[in-house]
Amino acid sequence: MRTNNLSKFIILFFSIFLYQIIINNTFAADIVHTDPGSDLIALAVKNKNDLFNSGKNPVFVTMVATKDKPLPTTMGTIVVFYDYNCKYSRDLMQLLKIQLPKNAYKIIYRPIGMISDTSKAIAELALAAFDTKPESFVALHQELSDLKYTLPLTVDNIKTITAKAGLKYDDLLARVNSKALGNEILQNQALYDSIKFPGVPSMILAKLDSNNNIINDKIYFIAGSDTNQLEYNLYRISIQ
C-alpha cells in the first residue's frame, strides 16, 4: 500500500514538474516572439532607399492629378514582390485591382523569378513592356495575371499572352537584352533576400513623404493574398 502511494506521489510530482516546464517555455516563447514580423520590418527600414526607389520597375499612382486636385504630398506606398508563375501572386493582383482605386496610392511592382524556369524570363518581359510605355505593361500584366492560364506558364503560353496584350514577343526580348533588364530582376531578388521575405507574394506598405521618408513609423508587412489584411493595412497607410 505504501509502495502504491509512493508511486502515485512520484507520478504527481513529475507531472507538476513537466507542466511547469511547458508553461514556462510557452510564456518565454511568447515574450521573445511577440511580433514575428518585427525583424522583417527592421530589415525593410534598413533597405528603404533601395526598396522605395523603383529603378526600372513599373511604378504607378492610382490617382490622376488635376489642377483642382493635385497629388498629396504624403502618400501610401505599396511595394509588391511577386512571381507570375505563383498562384497566390496572381490572386493578389486580382485583389489589388479591386482595392487600389479606393484611394491615392503609389505602387511599385517588383517581379522576381523563383517559382519555375520561365519565371525570370516573364519578369524581364514585364519590365520591357513598361520600358516601352506604361500602358503596355498594364496590358501584359493583366493578361499574365489572368486566372484562365495554367501555371507554370510555358514559352508558348508567354508568346500567346504577349500577342493578346498587343505586343511582339521578339521586340520585348530584344529590349530585355539591350537594356540589361535581367540585372534589374536580379536586383529585385537580392533585395527580396536581404529583407528575408518568407515567400511570394510579399508586400511592404508604408506612409511616405515626398522624399520617401517613413511617416510616424507607418510601415507594415503582408505575406500572401489575404483580403482582410490588405484592406486593413491599406487603410492604415491612407489615414493621416
Domain boundaries, given as residue ranges, for the chain: 1-34, 38-238
Amino acid (one-letter) located at 72: P
pTM here? Answer: 0.83
**Count of positions (residues) in the chain:** 240
Determine whether 182 is exposed, middle or buried from the number of CB atoms within 10 Å of its CB (0-12, 13-18, 19+): middle
Query: How many angstroms separate the Cα of 85 from the Cα of each of 28, 29, 211, 227?
Result: 40, 36, 34, 20
Chosen CATH of 38-238 out of 3.10.20.30, 3.40.30.10, 3.40.50.10330, 3.10.420.10: 3.40.30.10
Q: Per-residue confidence of the chain (240 residues) as pLDDT tens digits?
A: 555 555 554 455 455 444 444 434 433 333 333 355 789 999 999 999 999 999 999 999 987 666 777 777 788 999 999 999 999 999 999 999 888 888 889 999 999 999 999 999 999 999 999 999 999 999 999 999 999 999 999 999 999 999 999 999 999 999 999 999 999 999 999 999 999 999 999 999 999 998 999 999 999 999 999 999 999 999 999 886
* Strand spans (E) along the chain: 59-61, 75-82, 105-111, 202-208, 214-223
Give the residue carrying C-alpha cell 511580433.
Answer: 35
